Every structure is written in structure tokens, then in C-alpha cells.
Structure 1
Amino acid sequence: MKKKVLYLYIFTTLYAIVTNLAHPVTPAFIRNLGITEYMFGLFFAAMNLGTFIMSPFWGNLGDVKKRKYIIAIGVFGYAVSQMLFGMFRNPYYILIVRFTGGVFSSSVIVSLLAYISEDKDIINKKSVIAWFLALITFGGSISYLISGQLGDLFYDNLSYVFYIQAAASFIVALLALFLDTEVHGLQEKKSLFKQIKQFKYIPKRLVFLFIIIAILNIPIVNFTKYIDLYITDLSYRTSVVGYFSFTTGIIAMITTITIVPFITRKFPPIKTAIVSLLIGALMSFTTFIFASEHLIICLYTFFMVYIAARSTYEPSIVNHLNEEKNLSSGMLMGLRQSSLSLGAVVGPIVSGILYGYFEVGLFYILSSMLVLGAILLTVYYFWYKKGVVNDFNRKNS
């Protein structure tokens, strides 16, 4: 089992590296094509629209078929999409391959999280989930560091970065075939149509939670995307974005190793998420109050506290979803990924417009949305506790 989880960690890190490899150079690549800032948000939204539509499908398909094949297909399809992204110059063609990139890449995180959640041989699921999510961030940070250097090297033709990413993704697709995603402890595999019927049994409070997750992913995603753009707009080189993103990955890993294990043992997941959001809101807001004169200092101090808070919030939500027993892991993780993607569809479109008008003012709005999310999550928590009490009373009546 240790070897199985270790290979899962290695694969997760490699996947995160290759899928983020082109992100730091994308703003410069789009500008070199003469495409407006608004389209930058639209491209990102198109990818997340594909993820939003397909995540529940991949999750349910993984409950029926072997997840390693679903993961391999997803990475392969993403590789083709990114290769075409680097080749195309027409913004509408790019929009299409961004959508297909989301369609295929959505299979990976959903399948891996569902596997971790349902395999009874994985004893300390909270720890494994926290490490998994941290490695996604850490791998992405390593990727930003590499990509920043590649962006400087191929500044005159950034398409090469996309081609390198595609080639690396093809290799990772092959590595997916060596994943051991056979789940021990499950006695039956249902048909895909029976799995999809679970939609009818989703409780209203869980629908409310998925809406909250979508809302919260707007600031979480757009802090990352528009800080990259903001740094680029201030004439810093892509390597600066790379070093900054690498540091966020280190902070996420340190948080996972030191803070998350203690908190998950001591506090309920939703309470942890609420406090994390409030801390993140305060620190992100503080970052941009002083950013005009001391941007780099603020990013490496206050904003790193926000990263630590975010790294605590994300596993808390997944751990809470794992407490749900009426829906399959594939369905739950698919709906979570769709919720994340819904926020990432709406957010970049609106944020692209707001950034064009307000620039740094966008970040104040995003911080306020974290506070709103914490308030809504508090409402959900009381709703959830009421449901738990009612279920207990029914069983003992």
C-alpha cells in the first residue's frame, strides 16, 4: 500500500508539473498574438466550461470502469489540446482547444480523488488527501519555475513552450497506465446509468454547499491568474512569476506537513474552512493595500499567509464531502470539480472586465468574496448540524 500511495504522489506531482507548464507564458503569448485582455479571461473560462460539463461524467464513469484508463485518456487529450493551442493564431480556434483541454483534463483530479476516497486500504485518508492537494500546488509551482525560464529562453517564439508541454504530457499519459487504481473493499460496480441516477438523491444542503464552492473558487482562481498578469503588466520578466509561484508551492507543502494534520485531528472540517477563509481574506486584502510601492515584499509576506490559509481550506472541504455516505465518491468528486469549474467559468470573464478598468481594485473585490464565502459557509454549517441532529433523533425514536 505504501508503494501504491507513493507512486500516486509521484504521478500527481508530475501531472501538476506538465499541466501548468504553459501557464506563466500564456499572458505574454496571447499579447504577442495581438489578442485583447478580455480574451485571456475567455480562454480560461472556456477550459473550465469543459471541466464543468464533463466532471460528473468522468466521476461516474470511474465508478464503472478502471480509473487509470480514464486518467490516461484525459492526459492524452489535454496534450493534444495544448499542442494545438501553441499552433493556432486564430482566437476562435484557440477558444475551441481551450474547451477540449478542460473536457479531457477534468478526468484526472476527479478520478484520483474518488479513488483515494473510496479505497478502504488507504487508512489515513485525510492525510493522503491533504498531501494530494498540496502536491498539485507544489507540482504547479515547480512548473512555473521551469516555465519562467523557458519563457525567457523562447521569448521570441513562445509556441515552443506549448510543444514541450504537450510532449511531456504524452509521457505522463503513459505513466498513468501504471497507476494501481483497483479499489479494495468495494463489492460491486454499478452501471453508468444507475450512477447518474444519483442526481435525484442529492440533498438541498449539499446543492447549497456546491454553490458556495463555486462562489469561493472565483477569488481563489483569479488571485492566481491575475496576479500573474499584474506582475507581467508591471514589466517583470516571466521568471519573476515563476519564482513567486514556486514559493507558493513550498508554503503549501509546509502547511500540509505542519498545520493541516494537527487541525484535521482537532477541529471539524467546515469550521476549519470558515476560519481559513477569514484569514485568507484579511491577508490578501492587506497584500494589495501596500502593493503599489512594495509589491514583491507584500507577495512574499502577507500573500504567503493567504496561501497557507487556502491550503488549509481546500482539504477541509474534501474531507467534509467524504463524510457523505449517500452518494458515490465519483459523484461527489465530480460535482465538486464541476462546482470549482463553474466559478472558474464565470470568474475570469467578469474579472477580465474588472481588471481592465480597475487593475489592483480587482483584488479588493476578490478578498471581499472570501468573506462572503465564509458567511455562506457558516449558514451551511448550521444547516448541516441541524440535519445531523434530525437524523440522530429519527434513528433513536
Structure 2
Amino acid sequence: MESWKRNLYILMVCQFLVMGAMSMIIPFLPLYLKEMGVTDPEKTQMWAGLIFGINFLSAFLMAPVWGSLADKVGRKIMVLRSGFGMSIVILLTGMAVSPLQLLFLRLLNGTISGFIPASISLTATNTPKEKAGYALGMLQSGAVAGNIMGPFIGGLLAEVMPFRTIFFFTSVTIAIATFVVLFLVKEEVKPDRNQTRPGFFAEGSFILHQRPLLILFTVGFMLQFAMLAPMPQMSLFVSNLGAPGGYIAFFAGLVTALTGLANMLASPWLGRFGDRYGSEKVLFLSMLGAAVIFIPHSVVADVWQLLALRFFLGLCVGGLLPSLNALIRRHAPVGKESTAYGYSTSATFLGNMLGPITGGFLTGLIGIRGLFIVTAGMLLLGAWWLRLGLGGPVSSYKASKNEADASVSHKVS
């Protein structure tokens, strides 16, 4: 098997394990706080929000730092740093005895995290460019599958073992995945450590002055902002629609899971389509498709209609982040790919943070049906910005390569 394929399949499984393990602990964080003695509902909600959000904040701040370092010392070592670091921090989280300790450990976890972005960077730089879309789509499938299964497994484990034990189980799972990367993944394309490089801020300024990259970072922020803005309100929306049999929690979970399932199925196929016809085209059409599907969200009359729309939305979502990452790989300066992915990760984390907050505020003003229209408008704006900024959908990598080869031949002749 070719080295890049072997790396891809191993990292895909490891992303599934890491994302599954990390998402296992999310559903019972408020219950973990109650176990620590926080019984007031308002204080529980406040602490849960802070503890959940602080992880994104520190990850948002540190992603460019780790990306820049990866271009200097290697991408695989960044995967190992993050994996072993998170394993230790989550082990300590299972020993926390107060909300303040839990908050600090979640802050630390976000600071050292980056397993997924580092895996994306490692895959992108060690995969032939003409296969990058397919490879990144496969990685997306692994991560989404972990996100789907994690909360389900975590909920089952919470019924049969103490919460603290689940943190230890999570820590061991991440450590196993990291050891697999250590022994089985081979980094073929490594950075030149003897190359003189500018400082962190000079390098960041250089990346942010690359117009195509800046456009892609903005699009990444808009995607995550738009997709996550309605998420905290979905269970309430399902309740208002009237869940069959009164199973509100089940159907609220099914709404999320169905979107993730469609995303997982579509990502590799759309990634391969992007390799053949152009990732710009896939990203543009996926954003348009998602925007169009969000519009009828505002007029659904029952849960079954909502489920159908969420499945079709997931098919479009499958073409978003893999195409975005493939384009960043293509437009990043040689030797600065991980730095570019670091800033892209920061942009998406910022969308992760601000989307739900803004969505909650707007829901109070215009209702969730109005929020769906706003979300559709933001995706349309992002598609227009992408089309305008990158000059519209362009040819595939193979076509571009053929044109470049023809140009070189003409100059030689």
C-alpha cells in the first residue's frame, strides 16, 4: 500500500477514536458539576457554559502557534504532542474536585489540543495534491463518526460507571490512538529544520497577507458560525414541533445524528469530486445547497420534515470543510502549510464560539425560524465572497497541472 494511503487509513481510525473519546464527556459535564456540589440550576448552567467555552477560547488562541511550530519541527510530532498532552489533562480532569479546577483543566486542554488539525496538516502535506480532497474527506468521515458515536457511548457508560471513571477511559482511548500514530504513521514530507525562518508574528503577517488564504479563513469562520448558530436551540425546536410519542430527547439527538451520518457518507465522495472538478466548485455549490436547504427549515410543520431536511443538509455539509482544507493546502506557501492550517483552525474555532452565542441572542429576538433564514443568508454571503474572492470555480488540479506543464514546454521551445 502507498505510504499516503496507509497514513490516511490509520489517521482516519485514530480521529474516530479521539473525537469519540472527547465527545463522550460532553453530555454529562453538568452532572459532573452536580457531583462536585454545584446544585443551584443557574450556577450549574453558568459553570457548564464557561467550562465548555473556555476550551474553544484557548484552542482559538493557540492554534496558529502550534501550526507555525509544526512547519519548523514536523507535523507528526504535533499530533503526538497533542494526543499525549490531552490524555494526561483528561486523566487529571477525572480527579478534579471543584468547578474552578475543572475550568482550569479545560483551559489547559484547549491550550495543548490540536490532534485533529495536526492530523489534517500531516495528511495534506504527505498526500499527492490530486488526491488531497479525497483524503481530507475520509478524515472528515472518521471525525464525524466519532462525534456521532461518542455522546451515545458516553451516555451508556454513565449509566454503568462513575463519571470519573469515564474520564480515565477517555484518557486511555486517546493515549492508545496516539501510540498507534507514533508507531505506524510515517511522515514522508518533513520540514527543513536548517531553513532560516522569520519570527512567529512576521510569519503570521505573511500568511494573513495572502489574499486567497484570508478569503478562505473568512469563509471557514462563516461556515462554522452559520452551522452552529441554531444547534443549541434544536432540542427546544423539536419540542415545539411535537416529538412523536413525547420522545423529545431521542428525536433531538436523532436530528443531530442524522446530519452527521449524511456528512460522513458524503465527505469522501465530494472530496473525490473536488479532486476531479475543483474543490472551489464543490465548496461553492455545497454552501449554496446548504443555504437553500436552511430556508425550508423555517416552515417545517413536524419532526419528520425536519429530519428529512437535516439529512439533506448533512449531504451538503460533507463538502464544506474537506474542500476548504484542500483549498488551503493548494494556496498555502510551500513550507508554511501547517501555519496556514493553524490560522484556519483559529477561524473555525472563533465561529464555534460566536455562532451559538449569537444564535441564542437572535432566537430571543426573531425566533429560531427567523434564525434559519439568517443562517441561509450568511451561507449565501459566504458563497458570494468565495466566488468573488477566488474568481469563481476554477479547473481541477489535474487541469491546472497540465496547463502549467504546457506553459513550461512553450517557454522551453
- Whether the TM-score (by the shorter chain) exceeds 0.5 is yes
Q: How does 1:62-77 map to 2 (within 5 A)?
A: 62-77=70-85
Q: How does 1:206-355 map to 2 (within 5 A)?
A: 206-227=213-234, 236=247, 240=251, 243-266=254-277, 268-290=278-300, 293-295=301-303, 297-327=304-334, 328-355=336-363
Letter in 1 for 2:311: M
Letter in 2 for 1:164: F
Cα distance per residue 1:313-343 (max 9 Å; x no partner)? 2111112112225252111111111111122
Q: 1:317 to 1:50 in 2, by over 3 A?
A: same
Q: 1:300 to 1:52 in 2, by over 3 A?
A: same
1:189 aligns to 2:193 (yes or no): yes
Cα distance per residue 1:244-272 (max 9 Å; x no partner)? 54433331232134444235412x32232
1:171 to partner: Cα distance? 3.0
1:133 maps to which residue?
A: 140
Deviates more, 1:170-179 or 1:357-366: 357-366
Whether the aligned pair in 2 keeps the contact of 1:263 and 1:272 (CA below 8 Å) is yes
Q: 1:4 to 1:84 in 2, by over 3 A?
A: closer
| Structure-1 separation of matches of 2:280 and 2:97 | 45
2:380 maps to which residue?
A: 371
Whether the aligned pair in 1 keeps the contact of 2:15 and 2:142 (CA below 8 Å) is yes
| Structure-2 separation of matches of 1:377 and 1:248 | 24
Whether the aligned pair in 2 keeps the contact of 1:145 and 1:245 (CA below 8 Å) is no
Larger radius of gyration: 2
State the SS of the aligned residue for 1:368: helix
1:112 aligns to 2:119 (yes or no): yes
| Structure-1 separation of matches of 2:266 and 2:234 | 21
Q: Any stretches of 5+ residues in structure 2 without a counterpart?
A: 395-399
Letter in 1 for 2:55: M
2:20 maps to which residue?
A: 17
| Structure-2 separation of matches of 1:224 and 1:299 | 13
Cα distance per residue 1:98-146 (max 9 Å; x no partner)? 322222222x122212112222568622211111112111221122332
| Structure-2 separation of matches of 1:159 and 1:231 | 31
RMSD of equivalent CA atoms: 3.7
Q: 1:15 to 1:252 in 2, by over 3 A?
A: same
Deviates more, 1:28-37 or 1:279-288: 28-37
Q: 1:67 to 1:201 in 2, by over 3 A?
A: closer
Letter in 2 for 1:126: G
Instruction: Return the match for 1:46 from 49, 54, 58.
Output: 54
Q: Any stretches of 5+ residues in structure 1 without a counterpart?
A: none
State the SS of the aligned residue for 1:63: helix
Letter in 1 for 2:26: H
| Structure-1 separation of matches of 2:280 and 2:211 | 17
Q: How does 1:371-390 map to 2 (within 5 A)?
A: 371-382=380-391
Whether the aligned pair in 2 keeps the contact of 1:273 and 1:313 (CA below 8 Å) is yes
2:176 maps to which residue?
A: 171
How many residue pairs match? The answer is 383
1:200 maps to which residue?
A: 205
Q: 1:246 to 1:92 in 2, by over 3 A?
A: same
Provide the identity percentage.
Answer: 20
2:9 maps to which residue?
A: 6
Q: TM-score, normalised by structure 1?
A: 0.80
Q: TM-score, normalised by structure 2?
A: 0.78
